[in-house]
Structure 1
Amino acid sequence: MTLQRDALTAAGCQKIFTDTISGAKTSRPGLDKALEQLRDGDTLVVWKLDRLGRSVKNLIGFTEQLDHAGVGFRSLTDQIDTTTPAGRFFFHVMASLAQMERELTAERTRAGLEAARASGRVPGRKRIMTDSKITSARKLLDAGTPAVDVAEHLGVSVPTLYRWIPASTR
């Protein structure tokens, strides 16, 4: 965060707005506040293009809105400046490449998960409730031990205990 703030300050930004929310989210208070204050002739400067959005469609739509309002756009890390024709072209190319990279990553992740399943492995986090824990929990619950105590003894939360042993099955 300090690196980004320092880069924006060095670029001559007079006002700096921050968000801790992902660029994929549509509602970001810092960005919303910045947009409220932008006027014709201003330039919105971001540290990196992916801080603004995740899809080409959204990024292009966003910069077109800025353009209609007479506001320029600069991305420091990506060397994009939409106040020039070459900058606008470069923006579209970089946005397309960024989206392609995200799609390839998702595709590789899906392929890895399918390969894991095909080889008999269960992808994802290891089950916290093993068969022996479920058996122990059933015995303790049947003996009248409160669910809170059973969950604590097994090292799980009460909702996890009930997810594996619903009250209706006892």
Structure 2
Amino acid sequence: MLIGYARVSTDDQNLNLQQDALNQAGCECIYEDQISGVKAERRGLQEAINYARPGDTLVVWRLDRLSRSLKDLIEMVTLLESRGIGLKSLHEAMDTSSSSGKLIFHIFGALAEFERNLIRERTQAGLKAARARGRTGGRPKSLSNDKQALAVKLYDEKKHTIKQICTMMGISKPTLYAYLKQEK
């Protein structure tokens, strides 16, 4: 029996592409997750593995839908093999039920991890270059340094409530507390 597994990282993404591919591949049932691949607890994946019986094959659209690192991918294949379950990736055209499929699995897994590392390195280099030019990431501060100092002064004077200070300055309570903590 072919058992499908589909995963997207966030709620804004949808599973339609993966579901269509898994249905077209002949999967009798499809389990799904909407969670990051780095999370170890993926309920849909666990349900798919628990449902599978020896001789079944877990089908994924791409290897990166199953795992985000080569180490985790190898552990997953080892777990599946120990239960007599095969793994088939549609995008990489790979099936671990054969010796050549196992070899291809290891090669593609290593390439996928290499690609993610390159992306991470390029991102870090871009951030470093932006910082060198004086650009810092993150959300802009709600208040200028002068207004921050004024908010702290109003708090220290004890003439206004926290709510009043927040309303006057146009900030939230957590923001005010962050500025107070920063001053100390």
TM-score of the aligned structures, taking structure 1 as reference length: 0.88
- CA distance in 1: counterparts of 2:61 and 2:88, whole angstroms: 8
Q: Counterpart of 1:147 in structure 2: which amino acid?
A: I
Query: Do structure 1's residue 24 and structure 2's residue 24 form an aligned pair?
Result: no
Q: Is the 8 A contact 1:54 1:99 kept in 2?
A: yes
Query: Do structure 1's residue 144 and structure 2's residue 145 form an aligned pair?
Result: no
Query: Do structure 1's residue 4 and structure 2's residue 23 form an aligned pair?
Result: no
Query: Do structure 1's residue 157 and structure 2's residue 172 form an aligned pair?
Result: yes
1:112–1:39 Cα change, 3 Å:
same
Task: Using the TM superposition, give the Cα deviation of residue 50 of structure 1 relative to its aligned residue in structure 2, in angstroms.
Answer: 0.9
Give SS of 2:31's match: coil
Query: Do structure 1's residue 68 and structure 2's residue 82 form an aligned pair?
Result: yes
Identity %: 44
| Cα displacement string for residues 59-85 of structure 1 (whole angstroms, at most 9, x for unaligned residues) | 011112211211110111222211222
Task: Using the TM superposition, give the Cα deviation of residue 120 of structure 1 relative to its aligned residue in structure 2, in angstroms.
Answer: 2.7
- CA distance in 2: counterparts of 1:80 and 1:74, whole angstroms: 6
TM-score of the aligned structures, taking structure 2 as reference length: 0.82
Task: Using the TM superposition, give the Cα deviation of residue 115 of structure 1 relative to its aligned residue in structure 2, in angstroms.
Answer: 2.0
- CA distance in 1: counterparts of 2:89 and 2:144, whole angstroms: 50
CA root-mean-square deviation: 2.1
| Cα displacement string for residues 3-30 of structure 1 (whole angstroms, at most 9, x for unaligned residues) | 2112111111111111111111111011
Count of residues paired in the alignment: 169
Q: Counterpart of 2:25 in structure 1: which amino acid?
A: A
For residue 120 of structure 2, the aligned residue among 106, 110, 118 is: 106
Query: Do structure 1's residue 135 and structure 2's residue 149 form an aligned pair?
Result: yes
Moved over 6 A (4+): none
- CA distance in 1: counterparts of 2:183 and 2:146, whole angstroms: 20
1:121–1:71 Cα change, 3 Å:
same
Q: Is the 8 A contact 2:152 2:179 kept in 1?
A: no
Q: Which moved more, 1:3-12 or 1:121-130?
A: 121-130
Structure with greater strand share of residues: 2
Q: Is the 8 A contact 1:82 1:88 kept in 2?
A: yes
| Cα displacement string for residues 114-157 of structure 1 (whole angstroms, at most 9, x for unaligned residues) | 22222333233322332133033234433622222322443432
Give SS of 2:30's match: coil
Give SS of 1:64's match: helix
1:152–1:109 Cα change, 3 Å:
farther
